[in-house]
Structure 1
Amino acid sequence: MLSPNSSRRLGQDWKTTGTAGSLQSLKKFNNQDFSRLRASCLSQGLLFEDDTFPANVSSIGPNLLSEDKLWLIQWKRPTELQRNPHLIMDGVSRFDIMQGEIGDCWMLAALGSLTLQKRFLENVLPKDQGFQNDYAGIFHFRFWHFGDWVDVVIDDRLPLLNGRYLSVHPRTSNEFWPSLLEKAYAKLRGSYQNLHGGYISDALVDFTGGVQLQFSLKNPPPDLEEILKAADRSQCLMGCSTSGQLRNIELRNGIVQGHAYTITGATKIRYKNGWEHIVRIWNPWGHGEWKGAWSDDSPEWDHVEPKYREALCRDKDDGEFWMSCENFQEHFSLLYICNSTPTFLDFGGQNRTTWSVDRHIYQWSPVVTTGRNNYSPAGALSRNPQYFFKVTDYDPKTYNVVISLIQKHADNTLDAQKLKIGFLIFRENSKVLKQDFALARDVTNYFILSPGTYAVLPATSEDQEFEFLLRIFLKHQDYNGEPNYPLSSMLPKDTFTDLRKTTPENSDEPRLNQDSSYKTIFLRYANQGSAIDALQLQHLLNEEVLQDETASLGGRFSFDSCRGILALMDLGSNGRLTLQEFGSLWRHIAKYLDVFKKEDRNNSGYLDVSELKSAIQTAGLSVNEQLLRLMALRYGDATRRIGLSDFICCMLRLETMTYAFQNLAEDGPQLSMTTMEWLTLVMYS
Structure 2
Amino acid sequence: MISRAEGTRRQGRLHNLPATSLNPETTTEPSSWREILRRWCPGKGRMLSPSSAPMPERGWQTTGATGSLQKVKKFNSQDFRELRALCLSQGLLFEDATFPAHSSSIGARLLPQEELWQIQWKRPTELQRNPYLIMDGVSRFDIMQGEIGDCWMLAALGSLTLRKQFLENVLPKDQGFQDDYAGIFHFRFWQYGEWVDVVIDDRLPILNGRYLFVHPRTSNEFWPSLLEKAYAKLRGSYQNLNGGYLSDALVDLTGGVQVQFSLRDPPPDLKEILKAADRSQCLMGCSTPGQARRNIELKNGIVQGHAYTITGAVKIPYKNGWKHIIRIWNPWGHGEWKGPWSDNSHQWDRVEPKYREALLRNKDDGEFWMSYENFQEQFSWLYICNSTPTFLDFGDEHCSVWSLTSYTNLWSQGLPTRKSHYSSAGAASTNPQYFFKVLDHDPNTYNVAISLMQKHAEGMQDEKNLKIGFFLSMENSRVLKQIFFRTRDVTSYLTLSPGTYSVLPAAAEEQEFQFLLRIFIRNQDHHESSYSLTSPRLPMDIPRENQDSSYKALFLKYAKQDSTIDALQLQQLLNEVILKDEMTSLGGRFSFDSCRSILALMDLNSNGRLTLQEFGSLWQRLTKYMDIFIREDRNHSGFLDAAELKNAIQAAGLASDGRLVRLLALRYGDAGGRLGFCDFLCCMLRLDTMSHAFQNLAKGGSQILMTAMEWLTLVMYT
Q: TM-score, normalised by structure 2?
A: 0.68
Residues 230-629 of structure 1: pairs in structure 2 closer than 5 A: 230-247=276-293, 248-348=295-395, 353-365=400-412, 366-369=414-417, 371=419, 378-415=425-462, 417-478=464-525, 486-493=531-538, 540-541=634-635, 562=639
User: SS where residue 257 of structure 1 aligns?
Assistant: coil
**More displaced 10-residue stretch of structure 1: 408-417 or 460-469:** 408-417
- Given residue 487 of structure 1, which amino acid in structure 2 is its aligned partner? S
Q: Shift in Å at residue 68 of structure 1?
A: 1.7
User: SS where residue 249 of structure 1 aligns?
Assistant: coil
- Given residue 285 of structure 1, which amino acid in structure 2 is its aligned partner? W
- Given residue 438 of structure 2, which amino acid in structure 1 is its aligned partner? V
Partner Cα separation in structure 1 for residue 279 and residue 445 of structure 2: 17
Aligned partner of 2:707 in structure 1 is none
User: SS where residue 174 of structure 2 aligns?
Assistant: coil
User: Does structure 1 conserve the Cα–Cα contact (< 8 Å) formed by 2:302 and 2:337?
Assistant: yes
Number of equivalences = 538
The structure with the larger Rg is 2
Partner Cα separation in structure 2 for residue 573 and residue 261 of structure 1: 51
Aligned partner of 1:160 in structure 2 is 206
Aligned partner of 1:111 in structure 2 is 157
Partner Cα separation in structure 1 for residue 329 and residue 647 of structure 2: 59
Q: Shift in Å at residue 403 of structure 1?
A: 0.7
Q: Shift in Å at residue 20 of structure 1?
A: 12
The C-alpha deviation readout for 1:276-314, integer Å capped at 9, x for no partner, is: 211100000000000001111111122223332222221
Q: Shift in Å at residue 249 of structure 1?
A: 1.2
Partner Cα separation in structure 1 for residue 393 and residue 110 of structure 2: 42
- Given residue 348 of structure 2, which amino acid in structure 1 is its aligned partner? W
**More displaced 10-residue stretch of structure 1: 426-435 or 128-137:** 426-435
Partner Cα separation in structure 2 for residue 265 and residue 571 of structure 1: 41
**Aligned to 2:219, which of 155, 160, 173?**
173
Partner Cα separation in structure 2 for residue 33 and residue 293 of structure 1: 51
Aligned partner of 2:259 in structure 1 is 213
User: Does structure 2 conserve the Cα–Cα contact (< 8 Å) formed by 1:21 and 1:150?
Assistant: no
**Aligned to 2:247, which of 186, 196, 201?**
201
The C-alpha deviation readout for 1:575-615, integer Å capped at 9, x for no partner, is: x99997999999xx9xxxxxxxxxxxxxxxxxxxxxxxxxx
User: Does structure 1 conserve the Cα–Cα contact (< 8 Å) formed by 2:417 and 2:509?
Assistant: no
- Given residue 505 of structure 2, which amino acid in structure 1 is its aligned partner? P
User: Does structure 2 conserve the Cα–Cα contact (< 8 Å) formed by 1:109 and 1:284?
Assistant: yes
Q: Shift in Å at residue 173 of structure 1?
A: 0.6
Q: Shift in Å at residue 411 of structure 1?
A: 2.1
User: SS where residue 206 of structure 1 aligns?
Assistant: helix
Q: Shift in Å at residue 354 of structure 1?
A: 1.5
User: Does structure 2 conserve the Cα–Cα contact (< 8 Å) formed by 1:19 and 1:25?
Assistant: no
The C-alpha deviation readout for 1:72-126, integer Å capped at 9, x for no partner, is: 2211110011110000000000000000011000000000000001111111111
1:15 to 1:219, Cα distance in 2 relative to 1, 3 A: closer
User: SS where residue 219 of structure 1 aligns?
Assistant: coil
- Given residue 208 of structure 2, which amino acid in structure 1 is its aligned partner? N
1:416 to 1:427, Cα distance in 2 relative to 1, 3 A: farther
1:98 to 1:437, Cα distance in 2 relative to 1, 3 A: same
- Given residue 265 of structure 1, which amino acid in structure 2 is its aligned partner? G
1:380 to 1:346, Cα distance in 2 relative to 1, 3 A: farther
Q: Shift in Å at residue 385 of structure 1?
A: 1.4
- Given residue 491 of structure 2, which amino acid in structure 1 is its aligned partner? T
Partner Cα separation in structure 1 for residue 211 and residue 134 of structure 2: 18
User: Does structure 2 conserve the Cα–Cα contact (< 8 Å) formed by 1:124 and 1:142?
Assistant: yes
- Given residue 486 of structure 2, which amino acid in structure 1 is its aligned partner? L
User: Does structure 2 conserve the Cα–Cα contact (< 8 Å) formed by 1:392 and 1:476?
Assistant: no
Q: Shift in Å at residue 492 of structure 1?
A: 2.6
Q: TM-score, normalised by structure 1?
A: 0.72
The C-alpha deviation readout for 1:511-540, integer Å capped at 9, x for no partner, is: xxxxxxxxxxxxxxxx99988877667x64
User: Does structure 1 conserve the Cα–Cα contact (< 8 Å) formed by 2:411 and 2:512?
Assistant: yes
- Given residue 339 of structure 1, which amino acid in structure 2 is its aligned partner? N
**Aligned to 1:222, which of 240, 253, 268?**
268
Q: Find out whether 1:131 has 2:169 as its counterpart.
A: no
1:529 to 1:42, Cα distance in 2 relative to 1, 3 A: farther
Partner Cα separation in structure 2 for residue 56 and residue 584 of structure 1: 70
- Given residue 156 of structure 2, which amino acid in structure 1 is its aligned partner? A
Q: Gaps (5+ residues) in structure 1?
A: 1-7, 502-526, 543-556, 590-647, 654-685
User: SS where residue 111 of structure 1 aligns?
Assistant: helix
User: SS where residue 434 of structure 1 aligns?
Assistant: strand
Partner Cα separation in structure 1 for residue 471 and residue 634 of structure 2: 29
Partner Cα separation in structure 2 for residue 184 and residue 382 of structure 1: 42
**More displaced 10-residue stretch of structure 1: 409-418 or 101-110:** 409-418
Residues 636-651 of structure 1: pairs in structure 2 closer than 5 A: none
Q: Shift in Å at residue 412 of structure 1?
A: 3.7
Partner Cα separation in structure 2 for residue 582 and residue 336 of structure 1: 47
Aligned partner of 1:592 in structure 2 is none
User: SS where residue 256 of structure 1 aligns?
Assistant: coil
The C-alpha deviation readout for 1:310-365, integer Å capped at 9, x for no partner, is: 22221111000011111000100111111110011112257763111110001113
Partner Cα separation in structure 1 for residue 351 and residue 328 of structure 2: 19
Partner Cα separation in structure 1 for residue 198 and residue 185 of structure 2: 8
RMSD: 3.8
User: Does structure 2 conserve the Cα–Cα contact (< 8 Å) formed by 1:417 and 1:441?
Assistant: no
Partner Cα separation in structure 1 for residue 371 and residue 455 of structure 2: 39
Partner Cα separation in structure 2 for residue 410 and residue 326 of structure 1: 41
Q: Shift in Å at residue 157 of structure 1?
A: 0.7
1:463 to 1:481, Cα distance in 2 relative to 1, 3 A: closer
User: SS where residue 267 of structure 1 aligns?
Assistant: strand
Aligned partner of 2:111 in structure 1 is 65
1:89 to 1:499, Cα distance in 2 relative to 1, 3 A: farther
Q: Shift in Å at residue 167 of structure 1?
A: 1.4
Aligned partner of 2:189 in structure 1 is 143
Aligned partner of 1:553 in structure 2 is none
User: SS where residue 457 of structure 1 aligns?
Assistant: strand
- Given residue 70 of structure 1, which amino acid in structure 2 is its aligned partner? L
1:377 to 1:211, Cα distance in 2 relative to 1, 3 A: farther
User: Does structure 1 conserve the Cα–Cα contact (< 8 Å) formed by 2:649 and 2:656?
Assistant: no
Aligned partner of 1:616 in structure 2 is none
User: Does structure 2 conserve the Cα–Cα contact (< 8 Å) formed by 1:360 and 1:500?
Assistant: no
**Aligned to 1:98, which of 129, 141, 144?**
144
1:76 to 1:298, Cα distance in 2 relative to 1, 3 A: same
- Greater RCO (CA < 8 Å, at least 6 residues apart): 2
